Amino acid sequence: MSTEVLRFAPSPTGGFHVGNARTALYNYLYARHYGATLKLRVEDTDRDRNTDAALDTILDGLAWMGIEYDGEPVFQSKNEPAHREAVDQLLTSGAAYRCYADAQELEEIRKQAQKDKRGARFPAATPKEVEQHVANGVNPVVYFRIPPGETTWNDRIRGGSQWDNDVIGDFVIQRSDGTPTYNLAVAVDDHNMGVTFVLRGADHISNTPKQIMLCRALGWDVPQYGHSTLLLGSDGGKLGKRHGATTVTEYREQGYLSSALFNFLALLGWAPGDGREVFSPDELVESFKAEGLLKKDAIFDEAKLLWLNGEHIRTMTGEALLPMAATAWVASGLLEERELESRKPELLRIVAMMQPRVERLSDFEHARYFFVEPDHFDEKALKKHWKTDTPDRLAQYVERLRALDEFDEGVVEGATRTLAGELGLSASKLIHPTRLALCGVSFGPGLFELMEVMGKDTCLRRLDRALAVLPTEQHVS
């Protein structure tokens, strides 16, 4: 077992974005592969934006994806006494200072710093000024005093990294209302939670030197840091709504499997080194190596996610897939829950026939023709397969089927090909219009297996109906 401690630290201010899910996933893979500890910290100090619904979304998303953490969640809002204690320590040591400058003065200082191409420094209040403001009930903003020189660290993914401290400038660690800012709270919480390795996205790189400086000023050990790639849309821009669904919840609702999203996100910034692309979660834990984490930004390719989802669906057993397919059928009104057990053998056959063609769980709704008669017939298919002589051929076919004592796949296929031979036709001249009459479309599983599952009575009824309602005059064959 490793002594390393990692953390995933989401903010409950919105949906569980796929970028956050990938960060959680990498921390999980690292912790489980190397035997490290993974903790969950909920950064809930933004009282105006935090919601219980957002927290539930994050926790549900983690559970759905199978991303487990160790122990109970830590809520950052409960750590404010430790945050204030750290600020007091920094003030006492001189690493931080109080500032009472007004907004206009602060803005002028920032503008001048920009002109000088350096970080801003703000006026530190003298002890006498502090005393006067305290007497008047005015609270200060507390700034961290940037030390001279550079802040360097060896990034576990990107290698040697350094920032010129003078470019960063002094930054707020406590607001005038006494609440801590992000970087102060993170540094304190990471220390108190015993975090040794911070694995997160590249969008946090600019926070790293600030957190390192805070740890050093407080006399604490500095965690190791690793910054993974950014997630980009297909156009190379920041991943957003215009690229489609962006939250775990949305992908779940669209019919994606958790294992497929798990697999897909793992490959957005990590490579196994052998070109393999399809993994189960357990296989990813076993294969994961920190050395495989990449520096190049990753493109969120929806087409690849869809392909992976189909691959994962095809690895499932029918027993495992049936409840998911049934959920789609019940939701679309094709099936009632009370029918699931009594029709299970039939439903398992339908699942097996659909499975090779399904890319999302919602695609099982395309199997509606197994449950209800078609209410319309595809126009293109009619023009292609319903010719002038089709009704006469199908009428003969119906009588041949009606005479069958057995109605399994082999018997139906034999009867079909025998009649086609007697009529001097290719079997497709019977197969295509039959499928159209039974299903309303020209595509789907193998016709003869489909007919066996539908049953003789249903097939005869639908063929008779098609002959009655479809036009007898179509394009000449």
Selection from 83, 219, 210 nearest residue 147 by Cα: 210
Check if 241 is active-site. yes
Three-state DSSP at 152 gives: strand
Whole-number Å distance between alpha carbons of 126 and 155: 39
For residue 95, what is the DSSP state? S
Q: Is 184 helix (H, G, I), strand (E, B) or coil?
A: helix
Distances, alpha carbon 380 to alpha carbons 165, 425, 433, 441, 444, in Å = 68, 22, 12, 9, 16
> Could you give the CA distance from residue 248 to residue 258 in angstroms, rounded to a whole number?
9
Can you tell me the distance from the alpha carbon of 254 to that of 49, in angstroms, rounded to the nearest whole number? 27
Q: What would the two tokens of residue 100 be?
A: 């009472």
> Which residues are registered as beta bridge partners of 224?
197
- CB contact burial 429-440 (16+ within 10 A = b; e otherwise): bbbbbbbbbbbb
Mark out the alpha helices in 257-343 (DSSP H runs): 258-266, 281-287, 302-314, 318-331
Among candidate residues 111, 241, 295, 383, the one labeled active-site is: 241
Give dist(CA 98, CA 125) in Å, integer: 6
Residue with tokens 């003065």: 105
* Catalytic residue ranges: 241
